[in-house]
Structure 1
Amino acid sequence: MTATSERRAHLVLLAGELFAEKGFRATTVREIADAAGILSGSLYHHFDSKESIGDEILTSFLNEVLEHYREAAASGAGPREVLERIVRSSTGTLGHHRAAVTMLQNDWSYFSKQPRFGYLRTALHEIESIWITQLERGMKTGAFRSDLNPKLTYRLLRDILWVPVHWQQGGSWKTDEVVSAFLRLVFEGITKTD
């Protein structure tokens, strides 16, 4: 990695931390530059705008998520196994991309109205489609209950899956513990069986 690419990666990391803490819209270019110990104008040697930094953070996250989801869906495994692989990969990816997750959760109303960020809707639609396809497959094969509402089930599971990203910062649960508990809850429930 060259010094320029290292500096660029460091700026993305610093900006991501600020976006996660203050929000994307509330964070200024000056604050990013101050955190990096450079003048605001120097930031423009690496990025043409704050939105370019946001693009880098968000596309890196979504590309990684989709790569894992596509691999799981193409594996030929049954729907339960595919969803388990998706959950396991998601947890690791979400943990590495906390800034992107926080940006999407906190600033979605902004991103969703900006044509520049139109790729977010496309990527999130593909993510949803992969989940719903597996849920519907499971319903058809009898692996899952036939009375599930696939879209609602996906939304509930996705939102539950995204929340632990914030717990893991200095939290007492390891990623594997969170994943195992989530999968047990999804596939076994909380009702005691005899």
Structure 2
Amino acid sequence: MAEEKTSGRRRWPEGYDPQRTRSELVASALRLFEENGFDRTSLQQIVVDANLTKGAFYHHFESKEDLLWRIQTEYLDTQLEGAQAIVEQGGDPIDQVRELIRLSLEGVAQHRPHVAIFQQERRHLTGERLAEITRRRDEVEALFRGAVQAGIDAGRLRGDVSARIVTFGILGMCAWAFQWFNPRGSLSIDDVATQFTAMVLDGLVAGA
């Protein structure tokens, strides 16, 4: 059943739905932050776009910065959970690197606005929120770096490269895909992952 709209606010026929209200606010912020940037998006614009009220906003978020932090946390948590699952499975470190590249690119395909906002707007975070996002980002990087280092230690990847620099290169290459990847284009995210993996591993595999 469609929701009713009364007096500039959204009323759910089934009664107030906190999760749905929160999702509407996040979706609105994702659109506006990506289109206009964090600085040029006001709290008023977010609630008007979501057809909600400031009261509804403050029920879920402390501030516009708090909303930005939660958006970035949501994205990083999916990446962290996925990377942990890949690494915990063990096995061939090259397969791990391959799956981590795919995970990163799938994040771009499935959460493009989150990635764009993470890359372009996280400088607006301060204090504990910035520290928390930095910690999560570092945990993701550490999992990627650990897989690369395991490949080096096992003699599967070249020993004359820095695992840290390789990790920065992989993550930067994958993240930047948000600028050009078109999910409706001729290449699927699997196609892109296959080509990225070939480029990375062709230069890293020992004896190549």
Match of 2:95 in 1: 81
TM-score calculated relative to the size of structure 2: 0.81
Q: Is the 8 A contact 1:164 1:178 kept in 2?
A: no
CA contact (8 A) 1:29 1:50 kept: yes
Moved more, 149-158 or 165-174: 165-174
* 1:150 partner amino acid: A
Instruction: Select which of 113, 117, 126 maps to 1:99.
Output: 113
CA displacement at 1:176 relative to structure 2: 1.1
Q: Would you say 1:121 and 2:129 are equivalent positions?
A: no
Judge which range, 160-169 or 144-153, deviates more.
Answer: 160-169
Q: Contact (CA 8 Å) 2:26, 2:71: kept in 1 or not?
A: yes
Aligned-residue CA RMSD (Å): 2.1
Q: Distance in 1 between matches of 2:58 and 2:139?
A: 33
Is the contact made by 1:101 and 1:162 (CA closer than 8 Å) also made in structure 2? yes
Kindly provide the amino acid, as one letter, of the partner of residue 158 in structure 2: R
For residue 145 of structure 1, what is the aligned residue in structure 2? Answer: 158
Q: Which runs of 4+ in 1 moved over 4 A?
A: none
Does the 8 Å CA contact 2:94/2:156 hold for their aligned counterparts? yes
Other structure's SS at 2:60 match: coil
Q: Percent identity?
A: 24
Between the aligned partners of 2:54 and 2:179, the Cα distance in structure 1 is: 30
Aligned mate of 2:71, from 36, 57, 60: 57
TM-score by length of 1: 0.87
Identify which of 162, 170, 176 aligns with 2:175.
162
Once the two structures are TM-superposed, the CA of residue 96 in structure 1 deviates from its matched residue by: 2.2
Work out whether 1:14 is the aligned partner of 2:18.
Answer: no
Say whether residues 1:178 and 2:192 are aligned partners: yes
The match for 2:50 is 36
Number of aligned positions between the proteins = 188
Q: CA deviation at 1:73?
A: 0.8
In 2, the alpha carbon distance for the partners of 1:140 and 1:161 equals 24
Contact 1:73–1:130 under 8 Å retained in 2? yes
- The 8 Å contact of residues 28 and 46 in structure 2, kept in 1 or not, is answered as yes
Q: Which amino acid aligns with 1:147?
A: D
The one-letter code of the counterpart of 1:45 is: H
Kindly provide the CA deviation profile for residues 42-88 of structure 1, in whole angstroms up to 9, marking residues without a partner as x.
Answer: 43233232123223211111111011111111111121111111112
